[in-house]
Amino acid sequence: MAEETASPKKGNKTTIIIAVLLVIILIQSVKIYLDYQEKVEVKQQLVTTEEDLASTMQKLNDIKAELDQKIVEIEKLGGDVKELQKAKAEVELELRRSTKRSAKAMQELKDKVEGYEVLLKMKDDEIEKLKHVNTQLFSENKSLKTKQNMLSDSINVLAKNKDELASKVAIASQLKAENITIKAVSSKGKESESPFRNKRLQKLKVEFNLAENKVAPIEGKKIIIRIVDENNQVIFDVARGSGTFMINGKEEFYTSAQEILFDNTKQKLSFLYEKGSEYTSGKYVIEIYSDNYKIGSGQFEVK
C-alpha cells in the first residue's frame, strides 16, 4: 500500500514540473517574438529615416548646382549675388554635416530646403527681368555709359521692389488670435469669468482661435503667452514652462508656450497655467505672440 500511495504523488510532481517548464517555454517564446517584432519596427523606421535623409541631401545637391548656375547668370547680367552666395555657403555647410540627424533636425533641414527652393524661384523671375532690361538697353543704341547707368538703375528698382514685396508678404502672413477667452478654473474644475477671486483661481485658462490667413504657410509655429501685471511685470516660473524670447531686439520673459503646426483651419488653442501662488489684486493683461510679434491680447481682473 505504501508503494501505491507514493507512486501517484511522484506522478503528480512530475506533471507539475512539466507544466511549469511548458509555461516558461511559452513565456520565452512570446518574449522572443515581441523582441523580434520590435527589432523589425526599429529597422523599418531607420530605413525610412535614411531614405528621407538621402532624398533631402540629393535635393540639397541639386539646389547647390542651381545656385552655382544662377550666380554665374546674374553676375553676367550685372545683378547682386550676395544673397545667393550666402545661401550656397549654408547649403555647403549642411552637405558637410554628419548624416545622422534627429527627427527635429530633419524637419528643420526640410524647412531650409523649401526656403532655398522659394529663393531659386524668385531668382528665376529676377533673371528674366534683368534679361528684359538688358535687351531694352542694347536695342536703344545708346552709349555704353548710358546703358550702364540704366542697368544700374533697373537693378536698384528690382532690389527695392523685391524688398517691398518681401516686407508686404511678411506682414500679410502674420497670424492673428481671435475669439480670445480668459477664465479662472477652480480646484474642482469649475470655470468662471473675470473678475476672479483667488480662491477660485487655481489655474488660468486662455483659449483662442488662429484666424484664417491664405498668405501664411502651413508650418511649425511657437505660440507664446505673457501674463503682465499692473506694474508691467511678467509672471513667469521656469519650473512651470516659462522662458525668454526676443521682442524688437530685446530679450523678454514669457509665461507659457506651445509648439504647434499651423494648418490654416482656424484651429483652437488652449493654455492652462497654474501660478502656484495667489495673484496680487489688480488688472492683468494677456499678450499672445508668434514669430516674435503680438497676435492678440486680452484682460482680466483679480479681486
Q: SS3 for 41-77, per residue?
A: HHHHHHHHHHHHHHHHHHHHHHHHHHHHHHHHHHHHC
Partners of 257 in beta bridges: 224
Average pLDDT over residues 124-149: 74
- Choose the final residue of a domain: 135, 157, 172: 172
Give the count of beta carbons closer than 10 Å to the beta carbon of residue 293.
12
Residue 31 CA, chain-centre distance (Å), reads 39
Separation CA 49–CA 53 (nearest Å)? 6
* pLDDT of the residue at 47: 45
Same domain, 124 and 219: no
Q: Could you report the per-residue pLDDT of 83-97, keeping only the tens digit for each?
A: 888 888 888 887 777
- Choose the final residue of a domain: 172, 190, 218: 172
Domain that holds residue 214: 177-302
The three-point CA angle 207-286-214 to 5° equals 55
- Nearest Cα to Cα of residue 193 among 71, 301, 82, 103: 301
Same domain, 29 and 81: yes
Contact 193, 153 (CB under 8 A): no
At 26, is the pLDDT very low, low, confident or very high (cuts 50, 70, 90)?
Answer: confident
Question: How many domains does the chain contain in total?
Answer: 2
* pLDDT of the residue at 261: 93
- Choose the final residue of a domain: 155, 172, 189: 172
Retrieve residue 164's grid coordinates.
517691398
Separation CA 117–CA 52 (nearest Å)? 18
At 2, is the pLDDT very low, low, confident or very high (cuts 50, 70, 90)?
Answer: very low
**CB-neighbour burial class of residue 122 (10 A; exposed 0-12, middle 13-18, buried 19+):** middle
Q: How far is CA 297 from CA 178, 226, 300, in A?
A: 9, 9, 11
For residue 217, say if its preceding peptide bond is cis, omega within 30 degrees of 0. no
Same domain, 140 and 227: no
At 294, is the pLDDT very low, low, confident or very high (cuts 50, 70, 90)?
Answer: very high
From first CA to last CA, the distance across the chain in angstroms is 92
Contact 288, 225 (CB under 8 A): yes
6-10, 20-24, 162-166: which is most confident: 20-24
Same domain, 127 and 233: no
- Nearest Cα to Cα of residue 177 among 267, 100, 301: 267
As a dihedral over the C-alpha atoms of residue 140, residue 145, residue 146, residue 150, rounded to 10 degrees, the angle is: 100
Same domain, 164 and 238: no
Same domain, 264 and 145: no
Separation CA 256–CA 288 (nearest Å)? 10
